[in-house]
Amino acid sequence: MKKLDFKNKFFTALAMTSFLSLGFIACSSDSEEDSEMADIIDGTDDGDNNGSSGELHAAFAEFNEGNTDIYLDGSNVVIETNGLPNHTTVYWGIGEDLYIDEPDVDLTPSIIPNYNGEATLRVPQSPELASTSTSTNMGAIGIAISGAAIFNDQEGNGALNEAAASLDYTGGHIGPAEYHYHLEPTAWSEDDENLIGILADGFFIYGRKCNSTGTYPTDLDASGGHISTTQHTTEAEYHYHIENELYLNQYYIIFPGDYQGTPNAIN
């Protein structure tokens, strides 16, 4: 009889615990973790926290394979780069395979092999526009398909014009961080619709023209973005374009705008 009593109490306690935890889950389902737990319990796990879902966006096939490693991690895409450009520039330094002489460039005192430009960017597989835009910071704001970094329209804490003379033929330089582009990277894109790279908010950026019309888009927002098809997708999606406005009467800045999505760290 005593034993049975104990058993009853045990089961009552167990039932109470189950009831309480179910109640807890039901009452706090607006928190991400708990809704994940509820999904697992009711069998509707959407895969947010485990395994890979879907395929890489077709645009990622254009990223240089030697310099980047791109893969899915759950619902995120991870873009790892060694930070090196896959094309010629004076900034490789004499003796390197991709070094070329550029006598007109007012060189900064650094060369690519002296910097570790390794970086990782993790973005949602399906990035979304944010309700408010976010200004860009110093340092990398994106990763180009060449493997090197994309910077904004500032140099140090000043305007780009102070450093313009140090930019190589493809709008890149070192000064003083890793090799990076400020301008239309003519090594692979000049007045065309080619893919330039991906920005920290997960949206791709293309050349000055758009594949959807074959010419300069006329419906761009303040950041040079719009929603249309591209050469990489038949479904219209948000993407940016290089600003088709001359800076200092001779340059096209890659991205002078604000992020229209939510920026992620590049480090």
Q: H helices within the chain, ranges in order?
A: 2-27, 32-42
Under the binding rule (CB under 5 A), the answer on residue 210 touching Zn ion is yes
Under the binding rule (CB under 5 A), the answer on residue 195 touching Zn ion is no
Q: Under DSSP, is residue 195 helix (H, G, I), strand (E, B) or coil? A: strand
Which string of x and - marks every residue 227-266 that binds Zn ion (by CB under 5 A)?
A: -x--------------------------------------
Q: Under DSSP, is residue 216 helix (H, G, I), strand (E, B) or coil? A: coil
Q: How far is the CB of 206 from Zn ion (least distance, A)?
A: 6
Stretch that binds Zn ion, among 44-52, 84-92, 109-117, 151-159 (CB under 5 A): 151-159
β-sheet bridge partners, residue 204: 198
Stretch that binds Zn ion, among 37-45, 56-64, 169-177, 251-259 (CB under 5 A): 169-177
What six digits make up the tokens of 123?
């973005």
Q: How far is the CB of 55 from Zn ion (least distance, A)?
A: 22
Q: How far, in Å, CA of 155 to CA of 140, rounded?
A: 12
Q: How far is the CB of 156 from Zn ion (least distance, A)?
A: 8
Stretch that binds Zn ion, among 3-11, 38-46, 105-113, 224-232 (CB under 5 A): 224-232
**Contact present, 226 and 124 (Cβ < 8 Å):** no
Stretch that binds Zn ion, among 31-39, 132-140, 174-182, 196-204 (CB under 5 A): 174-182
Task: Kindly determine how many residues on this chain lie close enough to bind Zn ion according to the rule CB under 5 A.
Answer: 5
Q: Which of 44/250 has CB closer to Zn ion? A: 250
Q: What string of DSSP letters covers 77-127?
A: EEEEE----SS-BGGG-TTSTTB---TTS---S--GGGS---EEEEEESS-
Under the binding rule (CB under 5 A), the answer on residue 205 touching Zn ion is no
| Neighbouring C-beta atoms of residue 213, cutoff 10 Å | 13
| Neighbouring C-beta atoms of residue 228, cutoff 10 Å | 15
CA 183 → CA 40, 73, 217, 236, 245, distances in Å? Answer: 48, 31, 19, 26, 11
Q: How far is the CB of 193 from Zn ion (least distance, A)?
A: 8
Q: How far is the CB of 100 from Zn ion (least distance, A)?
A: 19
Q: How far is the CB of 180 from Zn ion (least distance, A)?
A: 6
Position of minimal CB gap to Zn ion: 210
Residues that bind Zn ion (CB under 5 A): 155, 175, 210, 217, 228
